[in-house]
A and B are shown apart, each in its own frame.
Chain A
């Protein structure tokens, strides 16, 4: 059976790769738990390819080795553009990616995800 995907969003990745970030300890703790689940094939760790590029994945190849990139297709961006009036562009695109890739778990600090039916891996507002 394909394990559930956990999407690591930009805020989470940023906190994870920057030890000076206030949320780094929380991101570390969450990532360690996720690694345990990843190792027993209970989850797939995934992130938007553009978010991985933003945090310079190449510089963190070891840390992010288990994270699979999700290529953001042009049609995803077109669909997200139709949501821009309701949501900020980056959030809209994340929602489209989650919908299209059937992702229902997210590692994030964004409190928005508390308001939708997904499993949030990091408590918002940490």
Chain B
């Protein structure tokens, strides 16, 4: 094979010094434009549905929408790549299933509820004040939806869409990056689930509610959907309201809202060159945590622990991947030395 390639110099070699791009020698595969058109149509329909029905947030609908996107993005790709995609998708679905089952079961396993501890930590961090209470006292107006209510509400709901979009785009572009993403993401989810089991935590809205006996704080308004409804997304908010009824209300520690809001920017940060843009991107998790505290959804410490888990996940997998490279390179160097 080598002799054949060496023995018959191809025409390009004889054509002087002009260098040609590979794209001039090898055309796109025949499905390239099919994929481009399919993805464009998908994006248009998705945005149209967003306008008419609101955001897609329940797990089944999200899975279907990701599945359709991947069908578009992988159209015409080799069968082997489809096989890998199917295996990846099964593992992905299994991860979410395990997450849901564990999270829902966590509250029934009998570990003691954390009620006072997170509040005490928050008070220690904020010089004796309750940040949830302070924010609502200063900014919440029961009969008036301010611009920051809209912003905070939008921030809150990006949790259900940004990580999924990031993951789907990474999945369609590079499997190497997808594996990197999923290792870190699954680790974060796994540790979070373990914490939901071991230390179920009462969130601030519950600790303040007159429907429960805790009553640690003055009553807090729980108004995550108000600003979003005000922007015209009634359908979505209603759907999410019904979904909340079967969620685990004491899965507050760590805050995955805060965790995901840091995770996505942190993953893409090395790809962003301008320092000012990096700084802007990193404001996102700060805004998310502020929104969560304002809405009484989480204690500040929930968010900080969520961020710490993201940092730990990235640190561990960065170390692991560097070590893998070092070991392989070391083996190769040893082999090179042996035959010298």
What is the 8 Å Cβ interface bit string for chain A, positions 103-126, against chain B (1 contact, 0 not)?
Answer: 010000011101111100000000
A64 in contact with B13 (CB, 8 Å): no
Q: Is B279 interfacial (CB-CB < 8 Å)?
A: no
Interface of B, secondary structure class, is helix
A95 in contact with B5 (CB, 8 Å): no
- Known A-B contacts A1-B271, A71-B80, A74-B78; A35 and B333 likewise in contact (beta carbons under 8 Å): yes
Question: Smallest CB–CB gap between A16 and chain B, Å?
Answer: 9
A115 in contact with B19 (CB, 8 Å): yes
Question: Smallest CB–CB gap between B264 and chain A, Å?
Answer: 15
Q: Is B174 interfacial (CB-CB < 8 Å)?
A: yes
B29 in contact with A75 (CB, 8 Å): yes
B325 in contact with A38 (CB, 8 Å): yes
Q: Is B194 interfacial (CB-CB < 8 Å)?
A: no
- Known A-B contacts A73-B78, A96-B26, A117-B22; A66 and B328 likewise in contact (beta carbons under 8 Å): yes
- Known A-B contacts A31-B336, A65-B331, A99-B23; A89 and B325 likewise in contact (beta carbons under 8 Å): no
Task: Give the interface size class of chain B.
Answer: 35 or more
For the complex, give the distance between the alpha carbons of A109 and B267 in Å: 37
Question: Smallest CB–CB gap between B83 and chain A, Å?
Answer: 10
Please, which residues of chain A bring their CB within 8 A of the CB of B9? 111-112
For the complex, give the distance between the alpha carbons of A42 and B46 in Å: 37
A38 in contact with B329 (CB, 8 Å): yes
B22 in contact with A116 (CB, 8 Å): yes
Q: Which residue of A lies closest to B11 (CB)?
A: A86
Please, which residues of chain A bring their CB within 8 A of the CB of B81? 73
- Across the interface, A41 reaches (CB within 8 A) one of B26, B80, B325, B331, namely B325
For the complex, give the distance between the alpha carbons of A76 and B318 in Å: 34
Q: Is B322 interfacial (CB-CB < 8 Å)?
A: yes
B253-305 with Cβ < 8 A to chain A: 270-271
Please, which residues of chain A bring their CB within 8 A of the CB of B271? 1
Please, which residues of chain A bring their CB within 8 A of the CB of B340? 28
Please, which residues of chain B bring their CB within 8 A of the CB of A44? 176
- Known A-B contacts A10-B2, A65-B332, A116-B12; A95 and B80 likewise in contact (beta carbons under 8 Å): no
Question: Smallest CB–CB gap between B10 and chain A, Å?
Answer: 5
Query: How many contacting A-B pairs (Cβ < 8 A)?
Result: 127
Please, which residues of chain B bring their CB within 8 A of the CB of A81? none
For the complex, give the distance between the alpha carbons of A91 and B1 in Å: 9
A79 in contact with B29 (CB, 8 Å): yes
A116 in contact with B25 (CB, 8 Å): yes
Q: Is A22 interfacial (CB-CB < 8 Å)?
A: no
- Across the interface, A63 reaches (CB within 8 A) one of B15, B18, B336, namely B336
A116 in contact with B1 (CB, 8 Å): no
B5 in contact with A11 (CB, 8 Å): yes
Question: Smallest CB–CB gap between B265 and chain A, Å?
Answer: 15
Question: Smallest CB–CB gap between A99 and chain B, Å?
Answer: 4
A112 in contact with B12 (CB, 8 Å): yes
For the complex, give the distance between the alpha carbons of A98 and B2 in Å: 17
Question: Smallest CB–CB gap between B77 and chain A, Å?
Answer: 8
For the complex, give the distance between the alpha carbons of A75 and B79 in Å: 9
Q: Is B40 interfacial (CB-CB < 8 Å)?
A: no
A117 in contact with B19 (CB, 8 Å): yes
Q: Is B335 interfacial (CB-CB < 8 Å)?
A: yes
* Shortest Cβ-Cβ A-B pairs, 6 listed: A73-B78, A63-B335, A62-B335, A99-B26, A65-B328, A62-B331
Cβ contacts A to B, 19 pairs, < 8 Å: A1-B270, A2-B176, A10-B5, A14-B2, A35-B333, A39-B326, A60-B335, A83-B25, A86-B11, A87-B10, A87-B25, A90-B1, A91-B10, A96-B26, A99-B22, A100-B29, A114-B13, A115-B12, A117-B19
- Residues of A with Cβ closer than 8 Å to B? 1-2, 10-11, 14, 19, 28, 31-32, 35, 38-39, 41, 44, 51, 54, 60, 62-66, 71, 73-76, 79, 83, 86-91, 95-96, 98-100, 104, 110-112, 114-118
